[in-house]
Amino acid sequence: MKISDILTEDVIATRLPGRTKDEVLENMIALASRSPNMTDKAKVRASILERERIMSTGVGRGVAVPHSKCDGVSDTVTAFAVTAEPIDFQSLDNSPVQLIFLLVGRENSVGAHLKLLSRISRLMSSDTFRDKLIAAATPKDVIELFRKEEEQFFDN
C-alpha cells in the first residue's frame, strides 16, 4: 500500500490553522472526516485523543503521526497537513511540529497499519523531503512529492 495511493487532495492541507496541539488535532480530524472511509467521526476523535494521552505522537524532527485503530472507519483513513506555523506537540525531541500525518485503521488491520507507520517514518526521516513538503503549495504537489519519494525508496 503506497501513501501516494491512499492520500487524496481533499484530505491534505498545506497551511493548516491552529496554534495549539489540541486545535491542530481537531483540524486534522476534520480534514480526515472528508474521507468516505470515516464512518464515525466521534469514535475516531476519541481513539486519536486517547492514543495521544498515552504518549505524544510527535516523533521528532518537526513531525507528528497521530494514529489509532478503531471501528469508526470502514477502511484506512489518512490526512496530511503542513501547519501554518510550527506548534508545540510535546514531541520526543521537544522540537515544534509542522508536518502532521494522521492515520486511522480498522481494529483488524494491524499488519497494514504497522506497514504504513513504518513507511511514513522512513519517508519523514529525510531532511530534504520534509523541507519539500513544508514548501509545497498545493495538495496535488504533496501527493506528487510522496509519489516521487516512494519510487526512490520502495519497490512498487
| Alpha-carbon gap, residue 120 to 23, rounded angstroms | 23
What is the count of structural domains for the chain? 1
Say whether 113 is catalytic. no
CATH of the domain at 77: 3.40.930.10
57: Cβ contacts below 8 Å, ≥ 6 apart? 51, 64, 65, 66, 67, 89
Mean local confidence (pLDDT), 100-126:
92
Q: Of 21, 45, 67, 119, which is the active-site residue?
A: 67
pLDDT by residue (tens digit) across 140-151? 999 999 999 999
pLDDT by residue (tens digit) across 8-57? 999 999 999 999 999 999 999 999 999 999 999 999 999 999 999 999 99
DSSP for residue 13: E
Domain of 28, in residue numbers: 3-153
Q: Given a cut of 70, is residue 156 above it in pLDDT?
A: no
| Alpha-carbon gap, residue 40 to 95, rounded angstroms | 32
Report H helices in the chain.
3-6, 21-32, 41-54, 110-124, 127-135, 139-153
Mean local confidence (pLDDT), 96-103:
98
Q: Report whether 17 contacts 23 (CB < 8 A).
A: yes
pTM reported for the whole predicted model? 0.94
Pick the closest to residue 101 from 66, 139, 147, 58 (CA basis): 66
